[in-house]
Amino acid sequence: MYRISNEQIDYMLQQITDQGISDAGLRDSILDHVCCLIENSKEPIADFEICFQSYLKKFYQNKLEEIEVETHLLITFKHYYQMKKFMLLSGIAGAGMLVFGNIFKFMHWPGASIFILLGILLLSLLFIPLLFFIKLKENPMGTQRWLLGIGTILAVSFCLSVLFKIMHWPYANILGNISTFGAILVFAPLYLVNSFKSKDQQTNAIITVVLIVAAAGMLYSLTATRLSHSLQESPWLVVQQNEKSTAQFKDYCNHILGSDSSEIGKQKMAKYYGLNQSAVALKNYLYQSMAKTEGTFQVETLFESNPNDLVTSKLMPTDQTQAKELIKFEQSLNQIYGNNNKNATWAKTTLFGMRNSDIFMLINDIEKEALVYLMEEK
């Protein structure tokens, strides 16, 4: 049996390293194998180096490096297939949950939001990133690499913006705008430039870009579902009409009450003035707090506020300064109804939780009712 010296081992190890094997484990394996072959050689070894090289040649077809490349490929491709499997599963599960979640939502069944939440999270945080890594393994070159990266970021931010929007979380619109404007202004031009390099892809590229822009446009039209401006203002037009008719009614009452010159008539007139003043003060206060303006009543500024907002926050019962006008109004009602103040209590409790536009008409109604009560009182 041929005995191999330490120097020869060093030489062989160096040769194996020089020929492109950087993995220590693989290097040791190859070294041990060649040593075994030399030791067990049946033919006498005249020149060690020639013998070593001839044995080493058996390990490869063109270069020794092939062995390491092959090892690397076998190890990574195993992960590659696992990742691919996992990506497909997460994609199917995510899309499925999203569809089921929406069906549940349409049918008003419980659990819809959980399905939608999980579906979008699976798609955006598992499926799309895995797709990115798998595509990256296919070694895209230059612009394609950029397209892949930008596309992934835009897709994830789009999915998350939808999730944030339906969950009423902050920054949903920012995410949505980033993804749609990014798709139109960055992704689409880059994609066009990349595709125009080869003639057969040109038509497909234009169609894809048109689809991206059209889809973004559709999405924005879908989000424009707020009430139109005229529809927002229409409740105030009703309020204006109501104000006019109430004023006419009050003129009529003023005329009737004014014609009674007796002591009771004078008292009724005083009560009427009190009610009128407190109602006007209350309405002015409401106008101003809604329009957030100081000073005199301004119709123009009033129209800028949203009539569909609830007034609860503006008439806090705990905040005495804010509810001051309401209390005055209540007191003037008490003056009219006396002990029979059921209506006044009712007025106070109903005023909370109403729409801005409705509250003015309600105040007018209460006022008119009180006036009728006052005139019929003997």
User: Among residues 22 and 259, whose Cβ is nearest to other proteins?
Assistant: 22
User: Cβ 127 to other proteins, closest distance in Å?
Assistant: 25
User: Among residues 73 and 99, whose Cβ is nearest to other proteins?
Assistant: 73
User: Cβ 33 to other proteins, closest distance in Å?
Assistant: 5
d(CA 326, CA 243): 19
User: Cβ 27 to other proteins, closest distance in Å?
Assistant: 9
User: Cβ 191 to other proteins, closest distance in Å?
Assistant: 37
User: Among residues 51 and 363, whose Cβ is nearest to other proteins?
Assistant: 51
User: Among residues 63 and 266, whose Cβ is nearest to other proteins?
Assistant: 63
d(CA 199, CA 16): 47
User: Cβ 137 to other proteins, closest distance in Å?
Assistant: 17
User: Cβ 25 to other proteins, closest distance in Å?
Assistant: 7
CB-based contacts of 81, cutoff 8 Å, min separation 6: none
d(CA 203, CA 11): 60
Binding site for other proteins (CB under 8 A): 6, 9-10, 23, 25-26, 28-33, 35-37, 58-61, 66-67, 70-71, 73-75, 78
User: Among residues 77 and 273, whose Cβ is nearest to other proteins?
Assistant: 77
C-alpha torsion sign, points 96, 101, 107, 109: positive
Instruction: For the chain, list the strands marked E by DSSP.
Output: none
User: Among residues 35 and 238, whose Cβ is nearest to other proteins?
Assistant: 35
Phi and psi torsions of 140, nearest 5°: -70, 150
* Alpha helices for 224-323 (secondary structure H): 229-258, 263-291, 299-304
CB-based contacts of 270, cutoff 8 Å, min separation 6: none
Burial zone of 6 (CB within 10 Å; 0-12 exposed, 13-18 middle, 19+ buried): exposed
